[in-house]
Amino acid sequence: MATSSSTPAPTAHPLPSYLQAEHLGPWGIFLQQVDRVEPYLGNLARWVETLKRPKRILVVDVPIHLDDGRIAHFEGYRVQHNTSRGPGKGGVRFHQDVTLSEVMALSAWMSIKNAAVNVPYGGAKGGIRVDPKTLSRGELERMTRRYTSEIGIIIGPTKDIPAPDVNTNEQIMAWMMDTYSMNQGSTATGVVTGKPVDLGGSLGRREATGRGVFTVGAEAAKRIGLDVAKAAVAVQGFGNVGGIAGKLFAEAGARVVAVQDHGGAIYREAGLDVPSLLKHVAEKGTVAGFEHAEAMEADKFWDVPCDIMIPAALEQQITKANAHRIQARMVIEGANGPTTPEADDILHERNVLVLPDVIANAGGVTVSYFEWVQDFSSFFWDEDEINKRLVRVMQQAFAGVWQVAEQHKVSLRTATFIVACERILHTRELRGLYP
Ligand code: NAD
């Protein structure tokens, strides 16, 4: 029996308790974001429940022998939020605070991000609740390999393709690829992306997220009449994403006036020497102690006079406590989920343009897609070609989102969700339900 979009499905059940938002944790924030776009989805809204229920959740026990002979158990997760548009795709995070709710939300944001830049993937994410700094290299390898074996029943080059995220890197991807390949009996480079270049990785992948941040920032700046070459930029987090984005803004003539990281904050009104700062961070692990700048109290970072602010560290950094202090005209979310919903509303009211994570940091997954394509064809492109294609994808995606934001008079976050949810639910409708 057909169900019209206006009548509730006769079999509708409330979401099971573990899918409900008891408090506004990451999954609760995602559900709220979906509720905001539902009115714009027209007839596709009848499929919206699809987005509120991850397709598949796997929780695994990861036991390993520690170096001292004891046995330790870690909890691991892999969540495939949606695979309507293609295989699951998303990183693996090793962190002591990882929770199932967080991994569910991150997997859902991957569905949105992948659809927003129109790469043929669904969304997935994984993680282990562990502080990897407490493990030796051998313990880290054993944990990574056992986790890969445990989730091996649902990942694969055409099923779900992990990648690096917080505290995971090229080496961990190499161990994951090797473990999966050993279990399969043949080398399967396409099972993960973000691998070392010598093992089927892609040129340009390491810089891709920062390059994407810069590209959408430059596009948005043009539209609001902000001259990047004269802009003052403040960056939180000077690692892979923030460091590269800062470098590219500086190369475009902008002044990077302030940087904050886990070790402290620094300021120089005339602009920091970014190549020297990157060298300092590579040696010392933090921006703190950089001698060609003034040290600043970490919290003062949010008051710095600037045109562009780039949060590129952790979740929930811009909150109702500091959103009213931000002086920038534009916030580019390099990190995932750096702005809380209340802070988002405050910035919107204050006319600060927020370029949301689901489009702003999608450069990484875009080049991951290029890596996967190169692995399948065993034909590798040069870096110039990769960067050109990346810029084209980001510019096109951003132009589409901008147009939808203007059409519906909504924020860029809601516009990105509208574009992405329409794409996901359209493919859901085309595929229909099996059986
Ligand atoms: P990274 O480990 O290279 O850098 C993290 C940076 O954050 C470091 O400079 C660190 O000092 C800083 N930091 C950590 N704790 C902090 C604190 N309490 N206060 C201020 N700064 C702090 O990580 P990354 O790869 O640059 O990732 C940063 C963010 O970008 C994460 O949210 C990640 O999920 C997101 N992201 C990364 C990629 C990617 O390709 N690397 C892609 C999409 C999104």
pLDDT of residue 291: 93
Nearest atom (ligand 1) to Cα of 285: 11
pLDDT tens for 248-259 read 999 999 999 999
Q: Return the CATH architecture of domain 54-185.
A: 3-Layer(aba) Sandwich (3.40)
**Alpha carbon nearest to ligand 1 atom 24, residue:** 240
Same fold, 54-185 and 206-360: yes
Nearest atom (ligand 1) to Cα of 338: 32
pLDDT of residue 65: 98
CA of 408 to the centre of ligand 1 (A): 32
CA of 213 to the centre of ligand 1 (A): 13
Relative to beta strand 264-267, strand 353-355 is: unpaired
CA of 378 to the centre of ligand 1 (A): 31
Q: What distance in Å separates the CA atoms of residue 206 and residue 186, rounded to the nearest whole number? A: 27
pLDDT tens for 333-373 read 999 999 998 999 999 999 999 999 999 999 999 999 999 99
pLDDT of residue 13: 63
**Alpha carbon nearest to ligand 1 atom 18, residue:** 262
pLDDT of residue 314: 87
CA neighbor of 362 nearest in space, from 405, 399, 317, 393: 393
> Which of 168, 173, 241, 369 maximizes ligand 1 atoms within 8 Å of its Cβ, making it the mutation to test the pocket?
241
pLDDT of residue 25: 81
pLDDT of residue 260: 98
Question: Residue 266 corresponds to which tokens in the numbers above?
Answer: 């620094």
pLDDT of residue 5: 46
Q: What distance in Å separates the CA atoms of residue 333 and residue 324, rounded to the nearest whole number? A: 17
409 part of the active site: no
**Alpha carbon nearest to ligand 1 atom 25, residue:** 240
pLDDT of residue 22: 52
pLDDT of residue 334: 98
CA neighbor of 78 nearest in space, from 131, 139, 148, 146: 148
**Alpha carbon nearest to ligand 1 atom 15, residue:** 262
CA of 276 to the centre of ligand 1 (A): 20
pLDDT of residue 198: 96
**Alpha carbon nearest to ligand 1 atom 21, residue:** 261
Ramachandran region, residue 208 (left: φ > 0; alpha: ψ -120 to 50; beta: rest): alpha
Name the CATH superfamily, with its identifier, for domain 206-360. NAD(P)-binding Rossmann-like Domain (3.40.50.720)
pLDDT tens for 33-48 read 999 999 999 999 999 9
Enumerate residues lining ligand 1, CB below 6 A.
Answer: 165-166, 209, 236-242, 260-262, 312-314, 334-336, 361, 364
Kindly state the percentage of the chain with pLDDT values over 70: 94
- The answer to whether 88 and 113 are in contact (CB under 8 A) is no
Total Cβ atoms within 10 A of residue 382: 10
Question: Residue 254 corresponds to which tokens in the numbers above?
Answer: 């902008």
- Ranges of residues in the chain whose predicted pLDDT is under 70: 1-24
> Which of 262, 317, 355 maximizes ligand 1 atoms within 8 Å of its Cβ, making it the mutation to test the pocket?
262
Helix (H, G, I), strand (E, B) or coil at 162: strand
Catalytic-role residue among 55, 89, 113, 125: 125
**Alpha carbon nearest to ligand 1 atom 2, residue:** 239
CA of 269 to the centre of ligand 1 (A): 24
Nearest atom (ligand 1) to Cα of 209: 40
CA of 222 to the centre of ligand 1 (A): 27
Compute the mean pLDDT over every residue in the chain, rounded to the nearest whole number. 94
Q: Please tell me the number of Cα atoms within 13 Å of 170 on its side-chain side.
A: 12
Crossing angle for the helix pair 412-431 and 383-408, to the nearest 10 degrees: 100
CA of 299 to the centre of ligand 1 (A): 18
Query: Where exactly are the structural domains of the chain?
Result: 54-185, 206-360
